[in-house]
Copies of this chain bind each other. A is one copy, B any other.
Amino acid sequence: MRRIGSIGVIGAGAWGTALALTAARAGLAATLVGRDPAVISAIGNDARNPRYLPGIDLRPAIAASTDVADALAADALIVAVPAQAMAGFVETLRGRTRPGHPILLTAKGIDRRTGKRLSELLVEALPGCNPAVLSGPSFATDVARGLPTAVTLAAPDEVLAAELSQALGSPAFRPYAETDMTGVELGGALKNVLAIAAGIVAGRGLGASASAAVIARGFAEMRRFAVGLGARPETLMGLSGLGDLMLSCSSLQSRNFSHGVALGEGKAAAAGTLVEGVATAAIVARQAAESGIDMPITRTVAAILDNRITIGEAVEDLMMRPLRRETD
């Protein structure tokens, strides 16, 4: 049995820092690697990350470095870079990982250019590695503060999923081991699109009933799409699907939801690259159309983001759909 005693984390943003801290709290030797020397120095020397996790004490101590090799030297690697940066990032790891190297991805999205899941990009670039993904309802600041959090940790290798869950788990941070990569990754990606939809409904002041209806109907299409691509239905109903969907659709801490709110309020919000659901909406709407999977909410969000339809027209469209059986 593999023993995981040390973790390297790449990406010293809020989520990477929170995960390195979580690993340290679980008793692992944690090394956090980032590009910005000022951030890395603050983490290593002052146990602080004032840029991304202001006011949070990063102890037990995390080793910090600007050299990716320091993260690769650990027993397992956590990659906390943004979804749309993943394709480029995994290329930089070519030839630098060990056979069976456990690599845990934590971004939520689908590659905009290829339509692939992030773990697919990973195993294509590094065929010998042992991939895993972490997803579920979690905000970096909550995790860093030690508020109780439950997430899903999936790997095709069931033993690795269990080992990583065990290694990273602590009373306040509970990863549930899973093997359904497709379900976990698609759930995490699609919930961002639906969070934009829920935000639009909230920003437009349509009321809590309409929000709940959009989320429930959105969940049905998220499940339909993921199951069509091979996910287990149960996975979509778990923490990384339904749980994360609920969190993202109800909190302004979610960038996707707050982007939707701004759209619903009629503020011309420029879609920054950090709003992951914007990239995902376009690619999923296209894939769904190609596969003949009905996704009216995703399609509508994509059309709004593309300026092909106004929000007024979208609401009219969604609410006026002919009455029919709910579970068709």
Contact = CB atoms under 8 A, between A and B. Distances in A.
Interface of A: 136-139, 142-143, 145, 147-150, 152, 165-166, 169, 171-172, 174-178, 206-213, 215-217, 219-220, 223, 232, 234-235, 237-239, 241-244, 246-247, 249-251, 253, 315, 319-320, 323-327
Contact of A174 (B138, B176, B234, B323): B323
A148 B220 contact: no
Contact of A206 (B147, B234, B241, B243): B147
Contacts of A239: 212-213, 216-217, 326
B323 A212 contact: no
A281 to B, nearest CB: 21
A139 to B, nearest CB: 6
15 contacts: A137-B216, A145-B207, A147-B207, A147-B209, A148-B206, A150-B210, A150-B217, A152-B326, A176-B326, A177-B324, A177-B326, A208-B250, A211-B246, A216-B238, A216-B246
A251 B208 contact: yes
Nearest to A183: B327
A152 to B, nearest CB: 6
A-B pairs, 4 with minimum CB distance:
A216-B243, A137-B212, A176-B326, A147-B207
A242 B242 contact: yes
Contact of A246 (B136, B149, B215, B223): B215
Contacts of A250: 208, 246, 250
Contact of A209 (B148, B215, B217): B148
Contacts of A138: 209
A242 B213 contact: no
Given A238-B327, A239-B326, A246-B249, 19 more contacts: A137-B212, A142-B208, A147-B206, A147-B207, A148-B209, A148-B210, A174-B323, A175-B323, A176-B323, A177-B324, A215-B242, A215-B246, A216-B239, A216-B241, A217-B239, A219-B242, A234-B327, A237-B237, A250-B250
Contacts of A246: 211-212, 215-216, 246, 249-250
Contacts of A320: 171
